[in-house]
Amino acid sequence: MKTIKVNVVTPNGPVFESDVEMVSTKALSGELGILPGHIPLVAPLEIGAVRLKKDGKTELIAVSGGLLEVRPDQVTILAQAAEVATDIDVERALRAKERADQRLHEKSQEDTDFKRAQLALQRAINRLAVSERRM
Ligand code: ATP
Protein backbone atom coordinates (compact mmCIF):
# COMPACT_ATOMS: atom_id res chain seq x y z
CA MET A 1 0.00 0.00 0.00
CA LYS A 2 1.33 3.45 -0.92
CA THR A 3 1.95 5.86 1.93
CA ILE A 4 2.29 9.59 2.49
CA LYS A 5 4.44 11.24 5.17
CA VAL A 6 2.56 13.24 7.79
CA ASN A 7 4.03 15.81 10.13
CA VAL A 8 2.00 17.60 12.78
CA VAL A 9 3.93 20.54 14.20
CA THR A 10 3.06 23.08 16.91
CA PRO A 11 4.97 26.02 18.44
CA ASN A 12 6.03 23.55 21.18
CA GLY A 13 7.57 21.18 18.64
CA PRO A 14 6.55 18.13 16.59
CA VAL A 15 3.55 16.15 17.83
CA PHE A 16 3.36 13.37 15.25
CA GLU A 17 5.41 12.06 12.36
CA SER A 18 4.67 8.90 10.40
CA ASP A 19 3.95 7.42 6.99
CA VAL A 20 0.23 6.72 6.59
CA GLU A 21 -2.14 5.47 3.90
CA MET A 22 -4.73 8.22 4.25
CA VAL A 23 -5.24 11.50 6.09
CA SER A 24 -8.71 12.88 6.67
CA THR A 25 -9.68 16.07 8.39
CA LYS A 26 -12.02 19.03 8.30
CA ALA A 27 -10.89 22.16 6.51
CA LEU A 28 -12.93 25.38 6.64
CA SER A 29 -14.11 24.46 3.13
CA GLY A 30 -15.27 20.97 4.17
CA GLU A 31 -14.05 17.41 4.75
CA LEU A 32 -10.77 16.50 3.09
CA GLY A 33 -9.47 13.01 2.36
CA ILE A 34 -5.84 12.90 1.28
CA LEU A 35 -4.19 9.91 -0.36
CA PRO A 36 -0.58 9.60 -1.58
CA GLY A 37 -0.10 11.61 -4.78
CA HIS A 38 -2.68 14.27 -3.87
CA ILE A 39 -2.37 17.56 -5.74
CA PRO A 40 -0.62 20.38 -3.82
CA LEU A 41 -2.99 22.27 -1.55
CA VAL A 42 -2.96 24.71 1.35
CA ALA A 43 -6.07 24.94 3.52
CA PRO A 44 -6.97 26.46 6.89
CA LEU A 45 -8.20 23.87 9.39
CA GLU A 46 -11.03 24.05 11.87
CA ILE A 47 -10.83 22.90 15.48
CA GLY A 48 -11.32 19.18 14.88
CA ALA A 49 -9.80 15.76 14.49
CA VAL A 50 -7.18 14.56 12.06
CA ARG A 51 -7.63 10.87 11.23
CA LEU A 52 -4.62 8.89 10.07
CA LYS A 53 -5.14 5.44 8.59
CA LYS A 54 -2.46 2.81 8.49
CA ASP A 55 -2.55 -1.00 8.49
CA GLY A 56 -6.30 -1.01 9.16
CA LYS A 57 -5.93 1.19 12.25
CA THR A 58 -6.93 4.82 12.68
CA GLU A 59 -4.95 7.20 14.87
CA LEU A 60 -6.73 10.36 15.99
CA ILE A 61 -5.16 13.74 16.68
CA ALA A 62 -7.03 16.70 18.17
CA VAL A 63 -6.06 19.89 16.36
CA SER A 64 -6.98 23.39 17.54
CA GLY A 65 -7.15 24.93 14.07
CA GLY A 66 -4.14 25.71 11.92
CA LEU A 67 -2.92 25.22 8.41
CA LEU A 68 -2.72 22.10 6.26
CA GLU A 69 -0.15 21.89 3.49
CA VAL A 70 -0.38 18.98 1.05
CA ARG A 71 2.32 17.91 -1.37
CA PRO A 72 2.13 14.66 -3.35
CA ASP A 73 4.44 12.84 -0.90
CA GLN A 74 3.92 14.85 2.30
CA VAL A 75 1.24 16.41 4.49
CA THR A 76 2.24 19.07 6.99
CA ILE A 77 -0.13 20.38 9.64
CA LEU A 78 0.91 23.52 11.46
CA ALA A 79 -1.33 23.92 14.48
CA GLN A 80 -1.40 26.23 17.48
CA ALA A 81 -2.03 23.12 19.61
CA ALA A 82 -2.37 19.42 18.75
CA GLU A 83 -2.50 16.26 20.83
CA VAL A 84 -2.59 12.59 19.89
CA ALA A 85 -5.60 10.92 21.52
CA THR A 86 -3.56 9.08 24.15
CA ASP A 87 -1.87 12.34 25.31
CA ILE A 88 -5.15 14.10 26.06
CA ASP A 89 -5.72 14.92 29.71
CA VAL A 90 -9.46 14.28 30.03
CA GLU A 91 -9.80 15.96 33.45
CA ARG A 92 -8.15 19.10 32.11
CA ALA A 93 -10.45 19.17 29.09
CA LEU A 94 -13.48 18.70 31.36
CA ARG A 95 -12.33 21.62 33.54
CA ALA A 96 -11.76 23.80 30.45
CA LYS A 97 -15.24 22.88 29.18
CA GLU A 98 -16.77 23.78 32.54
CA ARG A 99 -15.00 27.16 32.63
CA ALA A 100 -16.05 27.99 29.08
CA ASP A 101 -19.65 26.93 29.77
CA GLN A 102 -19.76 29.22 32.81
CA ARG A 103 -18.38 32.19 30.85
CA LEU A 104 -20.90 31.67 28.08
CA HIS A 105 -23.73 31.77 30.60
CA GLU A 106 -22.54 34.93 32.38
CA LYS A 107 -24.52 38.04 31.56
CA SER A 108 -23.20 41.37 30.13
CA GLN A 109 -20.04 39.98 28.61
CA GLU A 110 -18.04 41.62 25.88
CA ASP A 111 -18.15 40.11 22.38
CA THR A 112 -14.44 39.29 22.45
CA ASP A 113 -14.76 37.33 25.68
CA PHE A 114 -17.77 35.52 24.28
CA LYS A 115 -15.89 34.49 21.13
CA ARG A 116 -12.90 33.41 23.23
CA ALA A 117 -15.09 31.28 25.46
CA GLN A 118 -16.77 29.71 22.43
CA LEU A 119 -13.39 28.71 20.99
CA ALA A 120 -12.23 27.35 24.36
CA LEU A 121 -15.44 25.31 24.53
CA GLN A 122 -14.87 23.95 21.02
CA ARG A 123 -11.28 22.97 21.86
CA ALA A 124 -12.41 21.17 25.02
CA ILE A 125 -15.28 19.34 23.28
CA ASN A 126 -12.93 18.33 20.47
CA ARG A 127 -10.33 16.97 22.93
CA LEU A 128 -12.99 14.98 24.77
CA ALA A 129 -14.39 13.57 21.53
CA VAL A 130 -10.95 12.58 20.23
CA SER A 131 -9.93 10.96 23.52
CA GLU A 132 -13.16 8.93 23.50
CA ARG A 133 -12.78 8.21 19.73
CA ARG A 134 -16.20 9.72 19.03
CA MET A 135 -15.04 11.17 15.70
P1 ATP B 1 -6.65 24.94 29.05
O2 ATP B 1 -7.62 26.01 29.49
O3 ATP B 1 -6.85 23.65 29.77
O4 ATP B 1 -5.21 25.41 29.00
P5 ATP B 1 -6.83 25.50 26.25
O6 ATP B 1 -7.78 25.02 25.21
O7 ATP B 1 -6.89 26.95 26.54
O8 ATP B 1 -7.06 24.60 27.54
P9 ATP B 1 -4.56 25.55 24.54
O10 ATP B 1 -4.21 27.01 24.65
O11 ATP B 1 -5.29 25.10 23.32
O12 ATP B 1 -5.35 25.10 25.86
O13 ATP B 1 -3.24 24.67 24.68
C14 ATP B 1 -2.13 25.04 25.50
C15 ATP B 1 -1.20 23.84 25.59
O16 ATP B 1 -1.76 22.86 26.46
C17 ATP B 1 -0.97 23.13 24.27
O18 ATP B 1 0.36 22.65 24.25
C19 ATP B 1 -1.95 21.97 24.28
O20 ATP B 1 -1.50 20.87 23.50
C21 ATP B 1 -2.00 21.62 25.77
N22 ATP B 1 -3.30 21.13 26.21
C23 ATP B 1 -4.42 21.86 26.42
N24 ATP B 1 -5.42 21.10 26.89
C25 ATP B 1 -4.93 19.84 26.96
C26 ATP B 1 -5.48 18.57 27.37
N27 ATP B 1 -6.75 18.46 27.78
N28 ATP B 1 -4.68 17.49 27.33
C29 ATP B 1 -3.39 17.59 26.91
N30 ATP B 1 -2.82 18.75 26.51
C31 ATP B 1 -3.57 19.85 26.54
Sorted by where each starts, the structural domains of the chain and their CATH numbers stand as 4-85 (2.60.15.10), 89-133 (1.20.5.440)
| Predicted structure pTM score | 0.94
Q: Residue 109: what pLDDT?
A: 63
Residue 69: CB atoms within 10 A of its CB come to 14
Q: Residue 112: what pLDDT?
A: 67
Nearest CA to ligand 1 atom 17: 81
Q: 25 with 68: CB under 8 angstroms? A: yes
- Taking the centre of ligand 1 as the mean of its atom positions, its distance from the CA of residue 64, in whole angstroms, is 9
125 torsion bin: left (phi>0), alpha (psi -120 to 50), beta (else):
alpha
**Which regions in the chain score pLDDT beneath 50?**
none
Whole-angstrom distance, CA of residue 80 vs CA of residue 48 = 12
Pocket test of ligand 1: the residue of 63, 64, 126, 131 to mutate, having most ligand atoms within 8 Å of its CB, is 64
